[in-house]
């Protein structure tokens, strides 16, 4: 069985009422030929991610890795400058290898209730992630633009916390569909 590590922040780690993290639980149901390991840490950013990458990702000798950071890097109170965020993503992709990496852009927020992040800033971080994917040749899921283009995207961002950032099952279903299509298309 191939091993896939989902690496990121709280959006990777959240359980949303499940016993295990929702992202990896749903991916395992869609793609049962893989073992999905959740390496999400709430409150983390790309700086913290780099520090724990060897222990939480590389030690598993993964066949594939999703990298899903940006929500905290772009937050006003935790800000990691855009150029450092991008530099950190380049480093992560290089350590994993572009062929095994699926880079996921940060998600949009519901600005009516989320006060620590704006979609204007998150769009810049999503564009930086897209540039890393283009430069390195790693695989890319443009979650930000795919989700924000939906008329009902604020509905998909409603989760248990209902803070405009931590989405619930609707949001995870959408993300899992995008990741599943990507994994199937590249046959990792």
pLDDT digits (tens, 9 = 90+) for 115-140: 999 999 999 999 999 999 999 999 99
Q: In sequence order, what are the residues at sequence separation of 6 or more whose Cβ sits closer than 8 angstroms to the Cβ of residue 78?
A: 43, 45, 72
- Tens digit of each residue's pLDDT (9 = 90 or more) over 134-185: 999 999 999 999 999 999 999 999 999 999 999 999 999 999 999 999 999 9
pLDDT reading at 89 higher than 80: yes
Contact residues for 53 (Cβ-Cβ < 8 A; gap 6+) = 7, 92, 95
- For the chain, domain boundaries: 2-186
Candidates 2.40.50.1070, 3.40.50.1110, 2.130.10.30, 3.40.980.10; CATH matching 2-186: 3.40.50.1110
Contact status, residue 80 vs residue 45, Cβ threshold 8 Å: yes
Diameter of the chain by CA atoms? 43
């Amino acid at each position: 069985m191939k091993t896939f590590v989902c690496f990121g922040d709280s959006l990777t780690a959240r359980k949303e009422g499940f016993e295990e993290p929702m992202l990896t639980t749903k991916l395992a149901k869609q793609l049962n030929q893989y073992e999905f390991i959740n390496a999400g840490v709430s409150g983390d950013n790309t700086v913290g991610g780099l520090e724990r990458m060897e222990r939480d990702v590389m030690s598993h000798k993964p066949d594939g890795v999703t990298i899903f950071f940006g929500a905290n890097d772009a937050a006003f109170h935790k800000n990691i400058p855009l150029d450092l965020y991008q530099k950190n993503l380049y480093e992560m992709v290089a350590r994993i290898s572009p062929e095994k990496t699926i880079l996921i852009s940060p998600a949009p927020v519901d600005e009516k209730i989320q006060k620590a992040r704006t979609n204007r800033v998150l769009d810049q971080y999503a564009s930086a992630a897209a540039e890393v994917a283009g430069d390195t040749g790693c695989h890319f899921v443009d979650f930000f633009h795919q989700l924000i283009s939906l008329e009902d995207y604020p509905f998909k961002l409603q989760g248990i916390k209902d803070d405009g950032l931590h989405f619930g099952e609707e949001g995870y279903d959408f993300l899992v569909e995008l990741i599943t299509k990507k994994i199937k298309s590249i046959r990792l």
